[in-house]
Amino acid sequence: MNKLIETLQHKNLVWHGAPINASFETESTGFKLMDERLGGGFLKTGVIEVLCDIGIGEFRFLLSSMKGSQSEDKLIVLISPPGEINASMMVEQGIELSKILILTPKSHKNRLWAAEQCLKNGVCHSVLMWNDEPLEIHQIKRLQIASAEGGGRQFIFRQFKAEGISLPVDLSFKLSANPMGLNVKINKRKRGWPSEEFSIDMSEQWPSLVIKEKLSNVISLQQVKAV
């Protein structure tokens, strides 16, 4: 039995509900509460699944975690982003445009191939891929191996799960819109438990992109119908 468990652990097929005696590097997400829930931040290597609607602030949410790419002189690769990337925003966040690489493969297969090549070459800090096609276990495994080999991490943005199986990703969390930022629910994470939904306040980083509370001195007037 012990040998079987060791074999499953070696293949990353056993999930632990509490930390085990193993060292792994993390990097701050840029949000204190998120770091606390993740036990330090995002793992520096691995595959991270982000389930969310497009355009709710999901890209901005990850920007703070990518600033480490500047000190490490590594690239941030965006594969098939759903819209134009705002260059001014990236510069304002302290990310050099020369460190951004945007790829637009025409097929699901080519997107996965591009992500794997970027991860394994060792020059990428983070690879972000937008993809709603069904994923298979062996595809996630290939990305994990490439991530470990190159020392970068893979984010996969998805609006919904397109398969009925549980993928062996290192972290999976769901984002939903919140007037002051985003709601986060950790569905699955390596060496830890899932979480209940909690809120991330993004008003300090993005004050013009949140909906602040109504002023207490504003009085709503009853609408009068015209006769």
Residue 152 has pLDDT above 90, yes or no: yes
| Pairing mode of beta strands 171-178, 124-130 | unpaired
Residue 22 has pLDDT above 60, yes or no: no
Mean pLDDT within 20-31: 75
Q: What is the pLDDT of residue 21?
A: 43
**47-61, 111-125, 129-143, 157-171: range with lowest mean pLDDT:** 157-171
CATH class name, domain 25-205: alpha beta
Residue 76 has pLDDT above 80, yes or no: yes
Please provide residue 62's backbone torsions phi and psi, each rounded to the nearest 5 degrees.
Answer: -90, -15
Pick 149 or 227 by higher pLDDT.
149
Percent of the chain with pLDDT over 70: 83
Taking a C-beta distance cutoff of 8 angstroms, is the pair 95, 67 a contact? yes
Mean pLDDT within 153-179: 92
Selection from 160, 149, 159, 94 nearest residue 127 by Cα? 149
Residue 13 has pLDDT above 90, yes or no: no
* pTM (whole model) above 0.85: no
Neighbouring C-beta atoms of residue 116, cutoff 10 Å: 20
Which token pair is 70? 């500047």
Pick 29 or 210 by higher pLDDT.
29
**Per-residue confidence at 119, pLDDT binned at 50, 70, 90?**
very high
Residue 23 has pLDDT above 60, yes or no: no
Which token pair is 145? 């191996």
Residue 82 has pLDDT above 90, yes or no: yes
Q: 């060496």: which residue's tokens? A: 191
The domain ranges of the chain are 25-205
Q: 């899932």: which residue's tokens? A: 194
Cα 166 to the chain's mean position, in Å? 18
